[in-house]
A and B are shown apart, each in its own frame.
Chain A
Amino acid sequence: MMEGDSMDLKLSILSVLEKNAKTSVEDLAKMLGVDEEDIVIAVGELEADRVICGYNAIINWDKVSNEKVAALIEVKVAPQRGVGFDKIGSRIARFDEVDSIYLLSGGYDFLIRIKGRSMKEVSQFVFDKLSTLESVQSTATHFVLKKYKDHGVLMEERHENERDNVIL
């Protein structure tokens, strides 16, 4: 576990990177008032500990291709003795098509987010790969029609406020 000052620094780094993973070491050091070396060490540790698991871009695919589709799939499974949901959960997670998978409380067990090149590709994945797994009891596939917000970022272009109109 992280301790004291080093933890404060790490938490500050995380809150900056969560909003903008592209923030440079140099900028992080200036913003947080520490040496660049401290940032490099802290980020290295966060990566090694898999606190930071990766750095993805948030992309509005609608702008570059009409084909790509995303779907959310509800999955009910029969948990297995000794390993509960973990065995089937990690197995599903290994598929490249699976973007995220969460174990949930409530009416069904897993929520899977799938990205595919086409509706056909997604359907094929569900029919061939997912529903044929032994412990999967049922699936319900919901295709995404439009994304308004992803990873905390609004997809639509924001209008700029006319801020320079005032005397302050």
Chain B
Amino acid sequence: MRDFTSDQIKKIKPSGIRKFFDIARQLDNCVSLGVGEPDFDTPWHITEEGIYALEQGYTFYTANQGMPELRKEIAAWNKRKYDLDYLADEIIVTTGGSEAIDIAVRCCVDPGDEVIVLDPSYVCYEPDVLLAGGVVKKIRLKAENEFRLTPEELLSAITPKTKILLINYPNNPTGGIMGKEDLEKIAKIIIERDLLVISDEIYSELTYGKKHFSIAALPGMKERTITINGFSKTYSMTGWRLGYVMGPLPIIEQMKKIHQFSIMSAPTLSQYAGIEALRNGDEDIVTMREEYDRRRKYLLGEFERLGLPCFEPRGAFYIFPDISKFGKTSEEFCLDLLEKERLVIVPGTAFGESGEGFVRISYAYSLDSLKEAIRRLEHYLSQIN
């Protein structure tokens, strides 16, 4: 029989994070700092709105693009938070940020177009570009720059075929952020070279000591930026599958077609809950952010004590320490740690080659879990040193 699967899909490797959880599942008594998902309950007033929507019988499709009321709130929220000027019509409500990334890429990539993807970065960007027939050009970010993209690195990656720069700050897996002054230098090049930016800002509300800045807020950038955000990380709503994409009207008009032919509309009850989140959820964000920040400081202090070098991450809920001095690859280090101490963390290489020498540690876990994890890590390091 023929192999019916496409050549395109065969180019895509399974996620490197998956493997560790599969091994961990076979072992008893594992402690994980592996998952990139908030550990808080969805704030109850938000969940309650979802329940109410079900009780009211709102169990049908919404407008393809998302409920007008929700899109109006999304526009207002982004204006209030990041001074972004999107209209409700320039927004598509999606099934999580993941769909938003996929349809943004598919809407803009023709076969052969080059898309610049940062390395290390979240695992879905490269597959999404490949599925759209695009060519991935990676920029290997450097730890000494705190994994920020520099203008020199960007310039050296641009070719005549380059069309899109895909960025994600606050960053998964490094926890790095880029401020206004960093983004201004990038925006200048984007405008000069007539490129488009797809900016995944799903962790925008999780920054510590510095407010998030959105690249689309820079002069001349809104018309060449697709901004992606959502509810999963901000309001601890991962299972609700609710995100959105914002962009210039001509792009959004085209993008709507992919969304409506593949998804129809984002989950209705989630959209009702989303309205409540945007209107009345500011305090929930503060509470969660403060808790993450305390855990972040706790881990940074402990890593310093253990002699694990790492830069101070100011975003998301990840720390990306350098483990190269222990003479193991990231994968060897993580596998060994899992086998000997039953502690799950993710090798930096799951996010690209330049993650070699680093591991990603998530602090979306209770302090008790973090303490137990540190105890195991300390024990492990004392054995191999």
Query: What is the interface of chain A, defined by CB distance below 8 A to chain B?
Result: 12, 15-16, 20, 23, 27, 30-33, 163-168
Contact = CB atoms under 8 A, between A and B. Distances in A.
A167 B15 contact: yes
Contacts of B298: 27, 30-31
B301 A15 contact: no
Interface magnitude class on chain B: 20 to 34
Interface in B2-54: 15, 17-18, 21, 24-25, 32, 34-37, 39
Contacts of B35: 163-164, 166, 168
Nearest to A158: B41
A165 B37 CA distance: 11
Interface stretch (B85-93, B289-297, B326-334): B289-297
Nearest to B293: A31
A32 B297 contact: yes
Contact of A30 (B34, B37, B172, B301): B301
A151 B24 CA distance: 36
Contacts of A165: 21
A21 to B, nearest CB: 14
A32 B18 CA distance: 33
B34 A164 contact: yes
Nearest to A165: B21
Interface string B341-364: 000100000000000000000000
A167 B18 contact: yes
Contacts of A167: 15, 17-18, 123
Given A163-B39, A164-B35, A166-B35, A31 B172 contact: no
B297 A30 contact: yes
Contacts of B300: 33
A165 B36 CA distance: 11
Contacts of A166: 35, 37
A168 B290 contact: no
Contact of A168 (B24, B32, B37, B294): B37
B371 A27 contact: yes
Q: Which of A15, A23, A166, A167 has the most CB of B within 10 A?
A: A167
Contacts of A31: 294-295, 297-298, 367
A27 B368 CA distance: 10
B294 A164 contact: no
B302 interface: yes
A163 B37 contact: yes
A105 B371 CA distance: 45
A162 to B, nearest CB: 10
The 6 closest A-B pairs by CB, nearest first: A168-B36, A31-B294, A167-B15, A30-B301, A33-B297, A30-B298
Nearest to B238: A166
A124 to B, nearest CB: 39
A159 to B, nearest CB: 12
Contacts of B297: 30-33
B305 to A, nearest CB: 9
B25 A164 contact: yes
